[in-house]
Amino acid sequence: MLPLTLPPHAARRAACLRRTLALAGSAALLVACGGDPEPGGASSGPVTTRTEDSTSTLTMQLRGEFQPEVGAVLKVEQSYRIEDARFLGRIGEAETTGRMSLEATENHLVQYLEGGVREITIGPGGTVTTTRMDGADEVREERESPLEGAVVTAVPDAGGDGFQYRLRSGTQAELPAGFEPADLRADALYTEQWREVGEVWQAPPEAVGQLLGPGFQLDEGDVRLRVKGHTQRGGQPCAEVVADIRVSGAFRSDGAEQEVSLRMEGKLYRSLHHFEDLEAELEGSIEIRESKGDGEVRIEGPITFRRLASYLSDDAEID
């Protein structure tokens, strides 16, 4: 909570530093918890491309009803990094400035079972936050994902529209609100409509929050996607999709809420066999704001998002 009165100068700097770390800790919860991917361990499925006879235009289906072979294992690694962001804390007329970096990582191992059931093993992940206030020493905080090592079972809903998630018995942690396994995170960016090379469509801003992870509630802005062409990743045919993202909303965790604005551009490589983003790289800027009374905290800086996914043998483990 921001103080209602200003202490003496030295105490004020310490209070601002503590407030900085508290906000950095909230920001660090933005995720609760190389080389080209190689295919394997899953059925190749149909190649979902076609050429229109009248125009000779290549079209591709980016989302559909494809179920990998029972026993197939998909490893998904994704992270985002806020690098050397500018920090500004203001209480009335007094200001405190500094720099902050944050890296959040997730690793999911998804095994496909009978009846559409999925078993998700949560691998190493968490956040590393570095804060350096002007005139103060650098402070580094590492937080492991509370779900590391947990196994989550995803059972399809009766209507086939989603999943019910439950933790394997004996797990101490609880699933965060909005939990979704990493292999489904990108689906909301796409529809089952066939897309021509060069075609542009819009996805809902909520899809970006879903991609980034639990806590993000992004509900305003534009998400423009375009099929640039047909390519290969790890021996699989893929659609190369260009993204232009301008969204805003909130991040919520542990009763706290910050306003968030995101601008990102980059590419996603969507498997035409498995309807899965095998690779993604987005870059841009983020602004995080929180206000209370006459106090305000603002963080502004560059952000990058990266994702790699690959099919493994059915006895694979997360490193």
258 HSE (CA, 13 A, CB side): 28
The segments of the chain whose pLDDT lies below 50 read: 1-47
Three-class SS state of 141 = strand
- CATH number of the domain where residue 181 is located: 2.30.230
Counting the structural domains of the chain, the total is: 1
Three-class SS state of 114 = helix
pLDDT 10s digits, 85-136 = 999 998 888 888 999 999 999 999 999 999 889 999 999 999 999 999 888 8
| Strand 94-112 with 216-233, pairing | unpaired
Confirm whether 102 is domain-assigned: yes
Confirm whether 230 is domain-assigned: yes
Model-level pTM? 0.79
Q: How many Å apart are CA 130 and CA 178, to the nearest integer?
A: 27
Confirm whether 58 is domain-assigned: yes
Please tell me the predicted confidence (pLDDT) of residue 45: 42
Strand partners, 112: 118
Confirm whether 1 is domain-assigned: no
pLDDT 10s digits, 35-45 = 333 334 444 44
Confirm whether 318 is domain-assigned: no
Confirm whether 3 is domain-assigned: no
Please tell me the predicted confidence (pLDDT) of residue 51: 58
Domain that holds residue 207: 9-33+42-312
